[in-house]
């Protein structure tokens, strides 16, 4: 660990009933969220979901119409941004083009009136942290995109901020570099143990980096939880669709028993596990189940599953690690199926009849979205 950046000084943030209106348009609607000290939280949503507006309210650039922002219990809702002491990596990095890398990183220290000697030491430590010490005297224009991103990171961390805010930090980079920097960012977070709040529309990035993800849609907080929690147990159709891919199976509830229920879609019986404490659907009510393509298996002759359905392969493609099949069924429409390619039980051809099956806990009941047309 470098001398300039001490680990473990994370701070907790709380958003209470945060709302932001622009005229008649509500960009953020009643969002309450808490971020624990040292946590990596990602605000995930499509463009226009209000995630950036929330970050700007946390940073102090946008004032909430209603609600409060609290840092370690202290209300900072109206504190101007320059007095919040938050580090921020801006979209497009916003590096100062007339300053060298070292001068860019030193900027937050200069405006705080820190002496030259202390400044030099901290700048060196921050550049070491992101492995850019050799580039201290270059101008930002002489650096690659990934290096610029790291300068922005060093500049945001150099003054040991209470909180690090990241606004789409990796969106300007190509896919391979993005993957590398995701790993670096995650390692960095573990090393310095500070509280990170990240904003992205990239669901893969959110899943890989975060301790916790908050999913936003149309200015509302739809669901929050660990990446695994959100992927495995989406509460709404939007979440299931936005995080990865899902099949949606619509049916009518026909049987309700402790721990399980069954829906009928045409002649197909959909068996659904209902864990203890989760909301149950009433008998006769319509329901929608979300089912991940990789949880569907191809049934061999004589093999059985909780839910079984027959169909024919309508289209298929090969992706190296697996096959993606689109199977046309009579009762459930077109089903997306992901089949591992290694020792696949079949060589797919169009029109080939197949029997599909999945266990009762593979699918999950989801609510239709309130704003859906």
Partner 1 sequence: MRRDLGWWALLLPAFLMMTVLYVAPILQVLAISVTEPTLGTGNYERLLSNAGVQRVILTTLRIGLLTTGIALLLGYALAYVIALARPAAQRWWLLGVLLPLWISVLVRAFAWVTLLRRQGLVNQGLQALGAIDSPLQLVWNEFGVVVGMVHYMVPYAVLPMLASMREIDPRLLVAARGMGASRGMVFGRVFLPLSLPGVVAAAVLVFIFSLGFYITPAILGGGKTLMTAEWIKLQILDLVRWGMGAMLATVLVGAILATLAVFSRVVDLRRLFGARA
Of 94 and 367, CB closest to partner 1? 94
Of 13 and 263, CB closest to partner 1? 13
**Cβ-contact 329, 322 below 8 angstroms:** no
Q: Taking the complex as a whole, how short is the minimal distance between the CB of residue 88 and partner 1, in angstroms?
A: 5
196 contributes a contact to partner 1 by CB under 8 A: no
Applying CB under 8 A, the site for partner 1 has a residue count of 26
Q: Taking the complex as a whole, how short is the minimal distance between the CB of residue 66 and partner 1, in angstroms?
A: 23
3-state secondary structure of 13: strand
Task: Determine the straight-line distance between the first and last CA of the chain, rounded to whole angstroms.
Answer: 53
Of 93 and 242, CB closest to partner 1? 93
126 contributes a contact to partner 1 by CB under 8 A: no
- Applying CB under 8 A, which part among 1-9, 10-18, 38-46, 92-100 lies near partner 1? 92-100
Strand-pair partners of 175? none
**Of 96, 174, 266, 275, which one interacts with partner 1 (CB under 8 A)?**
96
Which among 285, 331, 289 has a CA at the least distance from the CA of 308? 331
Q: Taking the complex as a whole, how short is the minimal distance between the CB of residue 56 and partner 1, in angstroms?
A: 9
String of DSSP letters for 290-345? EE-GGG-EEPPTT---SEEEEEEEEEEEE-SSEEEEEEEETTTEEEEEEEESTT-S
Of 88 and 364, CB closest to partner 1? 88
**Of 97, 279, 302, 353, which one interacts with partner 1 (CB under 8 A)?**
97
Of 22 and 61, CB closest to partner 1? 61
- How many angstroms from the chain centroid is the CA of residue 220? 15
12 contributes a contact to partner 1 by CB under 8 A: no
Q: Taking the complex as a whole, how short is the minimal distance between the CB of residue 364 and partner 1, in angstroms?
A: 40
**Of 40, 107, 196, 358, which one interacts with partner 1 (CB under 8 A)?**
107
Residues 31-70 binding partner 1 (CB under 8 A) are 59-61
DSSP assigned state of 157: H
Report the sign of the C-alpha dihedral through residues 227, 231, 235, 237, in that order. positive
CB atoms within 10 A of CB 321: 9
Strand-pair partners of 66? 19
**Of 51, 122, 155, 292, which one interacts with partner 1 (CB under 8 A)?**
155
**Of 83, 175, 257, 319, which one interacts with partner 1 (CB under 8 A)?**
83
Sort strands 247-257 and 286-291 into parallel, antiparallel or unpaired: antiparallel
242 contributes a contact to partner 1 by CB under 8 A: no
82 contributes a contact to partner 1 by CB under 8 A: yes
Q: How far apart are CA 296 and CA 336, in angstroms?
A: 9
Q: How far apart are CA 32 and CA 221, in angstroms?
A: 8
Q: Would you say how long the chain is, in residues?
A: 373
- Applying CB under 8 A, which part among 46-54, 103-111, 172-180, 293-301 lies near partner 1? 103-111
Of 94 and 338, CB closest to partner 1? 94
201 contributes a contact to partner 1 by CB under 8 A: no
Which among 79, 84, 15 has a CA at the least distance from the CA of 53? 15
Of 129 and 215, CB closest to partner 1? 129
Q: How far apart are CA 186 and CA 301, in angstroms?
A: 46
86 contributes a contact to partner 1 by CB under 8 A: yes
**Of 111, 312, 315, 330, which one interacts with partner 1 (CB under 8 A)?**
111
Which among 335, 368, 362, 356 has a CA at the least distance from the CA of 273? 362
159 contributes a contact to partner 1 by CB under 8 A: yes
Q: How far apart are CA 372 and CA 222, in angstroms?
A: 13
Which among 235, 338, 256 has a CA at the least distance from the CA of 296? 338
Strand-pair partners of 35? 13
Q: Taking the complex as a whole, how short is the minimal distance between the CB of residue 31 and partner 1, in angstroms?
A: 21
**Of 17, 74, 112, 144, which one interacts with partner 1 (CB under 8 A)?**
112
The residues that touch partner 1, with contacts defined as CB under 8 A, are 59-61, 80-83, 85-88, 90-92, 94, 96-98, 107-108, 110-112, 155-156, 159
């Amino acid at each position: 660990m470098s001398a300039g950046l001490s680990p473990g000084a994370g701070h907790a943030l709380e958003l209470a009933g945060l709302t932001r209106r622009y005229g008649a348009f509500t960009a953020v609607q009643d969002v309450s969220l808490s971020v624990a000290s040292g946590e990596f939280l990602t605000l995930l949503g499509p463009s226009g979901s209000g995630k950036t507006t929330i970050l700007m309210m946390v940073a102090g650039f946008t004032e909430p119409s209603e609600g409060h922002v609290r840092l370690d219990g202290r209300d900072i809702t109206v504190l101007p941004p320059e007095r919040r002491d938050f580090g921020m990596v801006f979209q497009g990095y916003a590096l100062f083009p007339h300053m060298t890398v070292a001068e860019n990183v030193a900027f937050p220290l200069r405006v705080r009136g820190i002496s030259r000697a202390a400044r030099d030491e901290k700048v060196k430590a921050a550049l070491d942290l992101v492995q850019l010490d050799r580039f201290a005297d270059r101008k930002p224009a002489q650096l690659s995109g990934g290096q610029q991103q790291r300068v922005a990171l060093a500049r945001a961390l150099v003054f040991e901020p209470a909180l690090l805010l990241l606004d789409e930090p990796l969106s300007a980079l190509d896919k391979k570099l993005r993957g590398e920097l995701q790993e670096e960012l995650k390692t960095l977070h573990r090393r310095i143990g500070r509280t990170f709040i990240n904003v992205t529309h990239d669901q893969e990035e959110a899943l890989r980096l975060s301790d916790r993800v908050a999913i936003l849609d149309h200015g509302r907080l739809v669901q929050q939880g660990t990446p695994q929690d959100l992927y495995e147990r989406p509460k709404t159709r939007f979440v299931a669709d936005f995080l990865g891919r899902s099949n949606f199976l619509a049916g009518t509830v026909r049987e309700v028993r402790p721990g399980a229920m069954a829906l009928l879609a045409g002649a197909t019986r959909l068996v659904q596990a209902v864990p203890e404490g989760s909301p149950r659907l009433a008998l006769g009510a319509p329901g929608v189940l979300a089912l991940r393509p990789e949880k569907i298996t191809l049934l061999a002759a004589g093999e059985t599953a909780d839910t079984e359905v027959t169909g024919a392969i309508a289209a298929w493609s090969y992706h190296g690690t697996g096959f993606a099949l689109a199977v046309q069924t009579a009762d459930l429409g077109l089903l997306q199926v992901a089949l591992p390619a290694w020792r696949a039980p079949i060589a797919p051809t169009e029109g080939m009849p197949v029997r599909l099956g999945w266990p009762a806990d593979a699918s999950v009941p989801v609510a239709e979205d309130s704003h859906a047309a």
